[in-house]
Structure 1
């Protein structure tokens, strides 16, 4: 994997989407899901060399996950097939036009058994960026140890480490998350969080400026605060920069935060300045919310300008 731009690891899930309440029955369509996989695909679509490491079930569902990743240009040579554990499942229920609910069946899954030895070959091959999220260490003690080892090892080697807090309340409490993610953030160069997640990498109850100052003092170079429809804020040693969201019709917000992170990291890999990185981040976030699916509507590189100077309902001919 010489020349790899980004390595990420975690649990790839089979997402089963419904168009109405699960209790009413009806068709479920399978999709690849998982925050880290979403980021890998977002970058691969923009022409970056990306790899995903982890464990998937050694059955048809695991094969489906690998096939989807390969089809999107993501390197999966370091994914381990686990014959003893099932694939993790995520059910997305479109309860109303404005509300989607998520149900997980991932306890004891192949992805939750991720360990340090699973990551050694991938990390040893080298990458410009290591991306991890707060989801993986919530899966199991073994996965938690692997995430901490990878972050420390990559940071020591001079690799840029990006941590997206990505708190999942159904996986662990805020107190448990804070106890793990606060030290993990100490190995990161880039920390990404929504405004209500920022205190999970710092002191509970502290305001945003205090939390950001603490992260910068610990060696984090950039703190990104996602604000949904209000855009984002970026903090560095040089101060704060704001970016407005692109105006689009939002139809599905699942995966928007991962798209934002993919856009930011793509800008970093391309050598853009902070304003350019933020612009690409909010652009990918807009593509994500304007279509259905975790990653399916993310742009190719020649489509990055599609949302510029357009009007709702436009048709490109």
Structure 2
């Protein structure tokens, strides 16, 4: 299948570090006690996984679904440090946030722990990717940018997140659609949206790719120019920015996020976690969070989610092979 197939659902390389939080003073959290839930974010605070986890934490606590939800961060290697830790856990009341970046990072980092080593619980949301250029860029449209990019791929640096993640996959897909060899793409991976944003604001790169939550405010303020969004329809976060498809390139990508749990748990324990997350998803508070963040509701659970993950692994591996990040 060509890299440009429409509807590809998309979803790294950071120095490993470990951050933990202690249980609340005087409280002993028993394994499997869903009234006191833990949620691991296998990335640094402030990013997309962290924002989604803390939004879910707030909804669960505000609606009384669980009395206490602890969110903690385990940073490193596109989430592969975190999934490795999850695979060694025995607590049925632990969830881990993840998404496409981890799917790609498992291959680019040669992780010994893979998605089928842990338990799928639910896919929560998907986010639109936004392609931007600096405010002083000569390019005002995606068509203009692609013309310049095709003339000098190596001299057109593109900023984005972790190697092998959503942003680089989108760059590779767009390159192929434009007739550019994906291996020639000069992609600069940053560990977070803040670093890539600084490079864009300083005109150190020709373009940037990230979620609408990262770049949307700067597009709205005029500090960056939005030239395309990656979904089939325009984003309500940046409604004046056309889609890639509108701009003449048959590429559609969404950056999804979901939840996993430890391996080897009983069907009953898994079903309890699915029920808890479903209850949170069905609240008005969660619907309001989706709207406020411009997230797409892509909710699915259990075996259906597991089948989706298996398909994503195959698709992502194909793309990463074709853009030269992993060996086929």
Query: Structure 2-normalised TM-score?
Result: 0.27
The structure whose RCO (Cα within 8 Å, separation 6+) is larger is 2
